[in-house]
Amino acid sequence: MKPNQPVSLRALLCCAVVLTSNSARGEESAGRIPAPPPDAREVDCVNPFIGAITESRKIGSASRGKTFPGAATPYGLVQLSPDTISEGDNGPGYNFEHETIMGFSFTHMSGIGWYGDLGNLLVTPTTGPLKTSYGETNRPGSGYLSRKADETAAAGYYAVTLTDYGIRAELTAAPRSGMLRFTFPENPQSRIQIDLARRIGGTAVAQSVRVVSANAVEGWMRCTRDGGGWGNGDGQPNYTVYFHAEFSKPMADFGVWEAAIPEGKPRKHQQHDPAFLETMAKAAVMPGCREREGKHIGFYTEFPTTAGERVLMKAGISFVSINGARENLRHDISGWDFDKVRAAARDLWQRELSRITVSGGTPQQRVAFHTAMYHAMIDPRCFADADGSYPGGDEARRPRRSDRYTRRTIFSGWDVYRSHYPLMTLIAPGVVGDSISSLCDLAEESGKGYLERWEFLNAYSGCMNGNPAVIAINDAYQKGLRNFDVEKAYRLSKRTCEKINAGEKGFSGNLSDTGEYNLADWSISRFAGSLGKTEDAGRFLERSRGWRQLYDPATGWFKGGCVESNPNQQGWFVPHDIPGLIGQVGGQEKFLTRLTDFFARTPDVTKWNELYNHANEPVHFMPFLFNRAGAPWLTQKWVRFISERAYGDDPYNGLCGDEDVGQMSAWFILAASGLHQACPGDPRYEIFTPLFDRVEIRIDPIYGKDRTFVITTRGNGPGERYIRSATLNGKPLNRCWLSHREIVAGGTLEFDLAAEPNKSWGLGD
């Protein structure tokens, strides 16, 4: 099928199925999709189960991605996905290994490494007597949760059988709304119930619901720090999720339940506390109740069903108002055609996923690549209603509206400035501009006057260290993006670096802090220089050299405390001054010897270790240092080595660490394509052996119309492959880098590859 060609229902059902029942397919194939043919569309190569492990008993891993498998659209407000768990450091509220499902909620975070949040508006179809507690994970019968079978997932679609009820549940999404289709068995007491209090990592502290017509309800869930959530409440803003939900079957028999939560009882981490579960299970049920506000309430509608009868529910959500939720649903989903909504979501994904197309490699590598594209396009998500309204960044969350850009949220700065935002400057520069505008306006709306490093729901969480927003802004500016208020961005970047730094001399006792803040200082220096602000440029450039003060001549390496790393790893982190680092450690030969030894002694790049630990971000730039140190063949060697081992096509081997809101996937996308910056803000891309025979990047029209940049190879294959020679637009190329300008101008880069390294290639200027 050609891009944008209408998709028949038959084709949709044939090409978007992922069966994961262990009994049906065997343990080995669980969570995988059938191998796609070479001509498969990008959307057919997506496996949303990749990385959907929060904690594994099978392989003894604390995390293999923390992604969610449910239905979403690119950068959409809604992520309608199953939930298997609520408590603790569980990220998206789902674990592929869990045997039970609590229900399906409308909001999820992707791949976060801290205590989770969202999971709002939990919907569960049930039969038989009403249960008001979700129960305990992997304990069927302990609540309304159910055992699961035959899970299915594709881009924009998810389905599962709830075996305890004999119900098939299907989910699909639109940008600000979602639809669920339930196929019931014959039963005189079937039901759809909504747990309004449930939330990942905590509970909503107050909720409201009101019946507004024969088939519609609406209300809200208020979430505060007292209820737990993001960082166990420590980094979480107060927010309210509003909803408007409609049912395809009129509500003849409905009601509300309310649990008597004791006054003053903390709600953090009590979701599986026996006393709390008992309180939920003994909730008072109020049949016929049309309106209720309380601390822990739910809503249900009951009806008899015939065998195979389908009952649908659709809902719009908003973080602004009930009216916003109502209008979002009206804007997104006008009728009850589930397959039409699913096809529209699929088309949205195909349009975005085709921004980079690949051929060659193995079927498993193509699945890994296109799923990485999928995961990289979940955030930064839209945070505005269809009319542009969004909750302001002030403490009162007063509604605001923007007609200039789309308000976006979830900036996992410490992670995503490294690969994710550089990737988006190529394939989604409009999203980058939106994100920069959102961060800048938040700084003003909040009254804080500086840029947040980990923004969540238009609020400050303070998570991690450094000033990553400054780095991302400078990177965008150096690549020619002007789709944001440049003067405002500069003013706030400067103020941020003045307020938050490693000290006036550019260093502290912490090696990680020093490196991160030095990179931000270099970024604002470069930004200032580009704007002709020479005094600022000189001052911040001098401070960016503070890392030198932590070098210990006695040991020949760096000293100091570290954040999520150690001096072995963090000492290399001087991406903004690689020549200076080479000189500091004794010159090119000593530098290469030490760097080569660092990689050679790594026991397993896919597991946490004290050397090259790809599961976490501080080392992600290190393979590209060989290019900068005169040994590009070693960049070729190690990028291929990592790409082939750290990324796969199933839940367990797809990601080797937390997805971190797109960063882990973005690294793979760029690495597998054969280009990656060593330093964001320096528009030089290191080039090396791509994983695929052909990579085609569709250049965004912001850089020029109808442009593509194509990377092709001759002699590619599995295992080590080295560049023997290269041409750029038909002319010999003997340098191991390209500029951003060369890439977005469009053209063709061709590599001739061999099994043995050509150590003289790539050494030109």
Kindly list the structural domains of the chain, giving each domain's residue range(s) and its CATH number in brackets, ordered by start. Answer: 9-351 (2.70.98.10), 587-765 (3.30.2080.10)
- The per-residue pLDDT of the chain, averaged, comes to 93
Q: What is the pLDDT of residue 17?
A: 42
Residue 4, pLDDT above cutoff 70? no
Three-state secondary-structure class, residue 291: strand
The answer to whether the CB of 54 falls within 8 A of the CB of 91 is yes
Is the pLDDT assigned to residue 155 strictly greater than 50? yes
pLDDT at 266: 59
State pLDDT tens for residues 462-481.
899 999 999 999 999 999 99
Confidence of residue 21 (pLDDT cuts 50, 70, 90): very low
Q: Exposure of 235 by Cβ count < 10 A (0-12 exposed, 13-18 middle, 19+ buried)?
A: buried
What are 338's two structure tokens?
């589930």
Radius of gyration in angstroms for the set of CA atoms belonging to the chain, rounded to a whole number: 26
Instruction: Over range 378-382, report the average pLDDT.
Output: 98
pLDDT digits (tens, 9 = 90+) for 273-318: 788 889 999 999 999 999 999 999 999 999 999 999 999 999 999 9
- Condensed to tens digits (0 to 9), the pLDDT of residues 198-230 reads 999 889 999 999 999 999 999 999 999 888 777
646 has pLDDT over 80: yes
What is the tens place of the pLDDT at every residue in 262-273?
Answer: 876 656 556 667
Q: pTM (2 decimals)?
A: 0.96
SS3 651: coil
pLDDT of residue 267: 64
717-747 per-position pLDDT tens digit: 998 999 999 999 999 999 999 999 999 999 9
Confidence category of residue 113, pLDDT binned at 50, 70, 90: confident
Rounded Cα–Cα distance for residues 348 and 72 (Å): 10
More reliable by pLDDT, 554 or 12: 554
Is the pLDDT at 676 greater than 50? The verdict is yes
How far apart, in Å, are the Cα atoms of 145 and each of 76, 90, 142, 179? 27, 18, 8, 20
Chain segment 587-625, per-residue pLDDT in tens: 999 999 999 999 999 999 999 999 999 999 999 999 999
pLDDT at 20 exceeding the cut of 70: no
Interatomic CA distance for residues 411 and 661, integer angstroms: 8
The C-alpha atoms of residue 288 and residue 300 are separated, in whole angstroms, by 10
Say if CB 605 and CB 619 are below 8 A apart: no
Check residue 477 and report its DSSP letter: H
Order across the sheet with 71-72: list the strands.
71-72, 79-83, 103-105, 122-127, 187-195, 297-305, 253-258, 284-287
Between 22-26, 53-57, 410-414, 600-604, the lowest mean confidence (pLDDT) is in 22-26
pLDDT at 705: 94
Q: Three-class SS of residue 569?
A: helix
pLDDT at 233: 59
Strand 71-72 with 399-401, pairing: unpaired
The mean pLDDT of 157-186, rounded to a whole number, is: 98
Q: Which residue has the higher pLDDT, 255 or 56?
A: 255
Instruction: Average the pLDDT over 136-147 and give the result.
Output: 96
Q: Which of 11-25, 141-155, 337-351, 680-694 has the lowest mean pLDDT?
A: 11-25
Could you read off the pLDDT of 502-518 as tens digits, one per residue?
Answer: 999 999 999 999 999 99
pLDDT recorded at residue 10: 30
User: Stretch 336-363: mean pLDDT, rounded?
Assistant: 98
Query: Can you give the pLDDT at residue 56?
Result: 79
- Using CA atoms, how far apart are residues 485 and 493, in angstroms rounded to an integer? 12
Taking residue 282's Cβ as centre, other Cβ atoms within 10 Å add up to 12
Q: At 356, which helix (H) or strand (E)?
A: strand 356-359
In this prediction, residue 86 carries a pLDDT of: 84
Residues sharing a CB contact under 8 Å with residue 122, sequence separation 6 or more, in sequence order: 83, 102, 103, 104, 105, 134, 194, 195, 196, 198
The predicted-structure confidence for 486-497, as pLDDT tens digits, reads as follows 999 999 999 999
The answer to whether residue 90 scores a pLDDT higher than 80 is no
Do the Cβ atoms of 63 and 80 come closer than 8 Å? no
Q: What percent of the chain has pLDDT over 90?
A: 87
Is the pLDDT at 23 greater than 50, yes or no? no
Residue closest to 434 by CA, chosen among 465, 390, 467: 390
